[in-house]
């Protein structure tokens, strides 16, 4: 069974600063996908970034980047130049290759302070 | 495309009543998922379909829950009879194919009183 652990229930940071959200996971599979989804107050779940486990290069999407450490089973999200619109709940998610089920962490509530 | 459309957005019902949640997937997406979000348990997969066929329903809590996908354009999640502990946000999500991005609807907030 897969598990995802997010040890930071809440974080806050000043606008324009950089923040890193932590995530560790466990899976018995060697091939899998990792995702960060954000859920703003509107409740809509939105994909932020994805990483294939077989790729060594860390994924980047504009201000969002990940630090993927496969041996340590760690997958942190870095948000640079944070903006007020980044205020949301952030979920770390895993999906094994060949299994379409997403397993979610408990989430980190991020607040960007003006 | 309008995205994944769920209805209703909010539902308040009395214990014992039947509740039906609806989902219209994105056209061309072969996979459809029903998730439930609660404060206590977070986000859990209830069931998912591939090409309208249920593939994994191991997350369905009990026989009071049932889901159908009669065609590629529509799915329902039914709770009968409803109980207060069913109160949650229910999300529908769809994917084009294996390993692709899951797109979520805006969810239905169900309150059973």
Contact yes or no for A33 and B95 at CB 8 A = no
Tokens of B28: 């061309």
- How large is the average pLDDT for residues B81-87? 96
Nearest residue on chain B to A98, alpha-carbon basis: B98
Q: Is the pLDDT of residue B1 over 70?
A: no
How far apart are alpha carbons A61 and B61 in whole angstroms? 37
The whole-angstrom separation of Cα A37 and Cα A18 is 18
Examine the pLDDT at B98 and tell me if it is beyond 90.
no
Q: Over the stretch B7-58, which tens digit does the pLDDT of each residue have?
A: 999 999 999 999 999 999 999 999 999 999 999 999 999 999 999 999 999 9
Contact A33 B99 (CB under 8 A): yes
Please give, rounded to a whole number of angstroms, the shortest distance from the CA of A44 to a CA of chain B.
Answer: 5
pLDDT in tens, B56-65: 999 998 899 9
pLDDT of residue B58: 92
Q: What pLDDT does residue A82 have?
A: 98
Query: Which runs of consecutive H residues, i.e. helices, occur in chain B?
Result: none
Question: A45 at the B interface (CB within 8 A)?
Answer: yes
Contact A42, B106 (CB under 8 A): yes
- Looking at chain B, the whole-number percentage of residues with pLDDT higher than 90 is 89
Nearest to A110 by CA among A3, A2, A6: A6
Q: Tell me the C-alpha distance between B10 and B80, whole Å.
A: 17
Contacts of A106 in chain B (CB under 8 A): 42
In this structure, the number of other CB atoms found within 10 A of the CB of residue A97 comes to 15
A52-97 residue pLDDT tens = 999 989 999 999 999 999 999 999 999 999 999 999 999 999 998 8
Q: Which of helix, strand or coil describes residue A81?
A: coil
């Amino acid at each position: 069974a897969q598990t995802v652990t997010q040890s930071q229930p809440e974080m806050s940071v000043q606008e324009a600063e950089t923040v890193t959200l932590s995530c560790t996971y466990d899976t018995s599979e060697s091939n899998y996908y990792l995702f960060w989804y954000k859920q703003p107050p509107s409740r809509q779940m939105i994909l932020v970034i994805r990483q294939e486990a077989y790729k060594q290069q860390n994924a980047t999407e504009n201000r969002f980047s990940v630090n993927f450490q496969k041996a340590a089973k760690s997958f942190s999200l870095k948000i640079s130049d944070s903006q007020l619109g980044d205020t949301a709940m952030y979920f770390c998610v895993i999906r094994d290759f060949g299994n379409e089920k997403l397993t979610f962490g408990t989430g980190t509530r991020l607040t960007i302070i003006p | 495309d309008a995205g994944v459309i769920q209805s209703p957005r909010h539902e308040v019902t009395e214990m014992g009543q039947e509740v039906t949640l609806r989902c219209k997937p994105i056209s061309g997406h072969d996979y459809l998922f029903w998730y439930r979000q609660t404060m206590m348990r977070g986000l859990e997969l209830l069931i998912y379909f591939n090409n309208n066929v249920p593939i994994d329903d191991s997350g369905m809590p009990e026989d009071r829950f049932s889901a159908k996908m009669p065609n590629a354009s529509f799915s329902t999640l039914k709770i009968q009879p409803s109980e207060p502990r069913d109160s949650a946000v229910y999300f529908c999500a769809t994917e084009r194919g294996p390993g692709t991005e899951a797109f979520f609807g805006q969810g239905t907030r169900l309150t059973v009183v």
